[in-house]
Amino acid sequence: MLVGRGLIASAFNHYSDDSKVVVFASGVSNSGESNAAEFEREFKLLQQYVSSNSKLIYFSTCSVMDESLKESAYIRHKLSVEKYISENFYSFIIFRLPIVVGNNVNPFTLTNFLFNKIKNSEKFTLFDKAHRYLIDIDDLGFILSNMIDSGEFDNQILDICFNNRISILELVSIFEKIINKKALYTIRESGGCYTPNNIKFTNYLKEINFQVQPTYNSNLIEKYYSNR
């Protein structure tokens, strides 16, 4: 079963008619969300599946490791949901995701935000200490589907990211080259740099012979933004 219709859900359509798995991809997508009603909506929808014997797949965020974000409503919500799932679901996998990049127009994603600001010559504030990890939606769907089906990761919370950490400054530089326009930003001394515990994930990549090239980040941004 597939719950949701957004970018993440699009990578798991093949589970739509699978009664053994519930892919819950209908969570709050805006990491800056502060409306309690949005978090409550997600939680109530999730509770509908608590009595199911199906394997629940939930998408959290690697940003729970970011000390600079630990007091945000979004991070507190994600940690609360992780705890609820761990204590109440018979079978589950919680995937903590990095920044997922694909063909979508959600203005709240980091890459869409930066692209729109630079393309439209709009000013924005850049946090100089902020770093993130990126992953292609196509790679996410392929790798996580294999992990789900393997049965090797049941009832675990897993940090999902390559070793491709990038600063926001570097990311802006990639966009500037692709768009051929200078970004208009002011720098604030803020943001976080964290290292997820992705050992199980990277070990699994070796098992399936999935290799990440040094140019992964720039290739990824070019793939989805060069023709916009």
Q: Contact at 8 Å (CB) between 100 and 70?
A: no
Exposure of 77 in the CB half-sphere (CA atoms within 13 A): 23
Could you tell me the two tokens for 190?
A: 């803020």
Strands 92-97 and 156-159: parallel
Mean pLDDT across 149-173: 97
- 113 φ/ψ angles, rounded to the nearest 5 degrees: -60, -50
> Considering the chain, what is the average pLDDT of its residues?
94
Residue 71 confidence (pLDDT) above 90: no
Residue 129 confidence (pLDDT) above 80: yes
pLDDT in tens, 20-65: 999 999 878 777 887 888 899 999 999 999 998 999 999 999 999 8
Closest CA to 130 of 83, 188, 61: 188
| Burial class, 87, CB count within 10 angstroms (exposed 0-12 / middle 13-18 / buried 19+) | exposed
Closest CA to 32 of 104, 110, 105, 97: 110
Q: How many CB atoms lie within 10 A of CB 152?
A: 13
pLDDT above 70 as % of the chain: 100
Q: Indicate the pTM of the whole model.
A: 0.95
pLDDT above 90 as % of the chain: 82
Q: Contact at 8 Å (CB) between 99 and 63?
A: no
Give me the pLDDT at residue 219, please: 98
Give me the pLDDT at residue 221, please: 98
Exposure of 126 in the CB half-sphere (CA atoms within 13 A): 21
Q: Which domains does the chain have, with CATH numbers?
A: 2-225 (3.40.50.720)
> Residue 92's pLDDT band (boundaries 50, 70, 90)?
very high
Residue 112 confidence (pLDDT) above 90: yes
Closest CA to 220 of 72, 120, 110: 110
pLDDT in tens, 184-221: 999 998 887 889 999 999 999 999 999 999 999 999 99
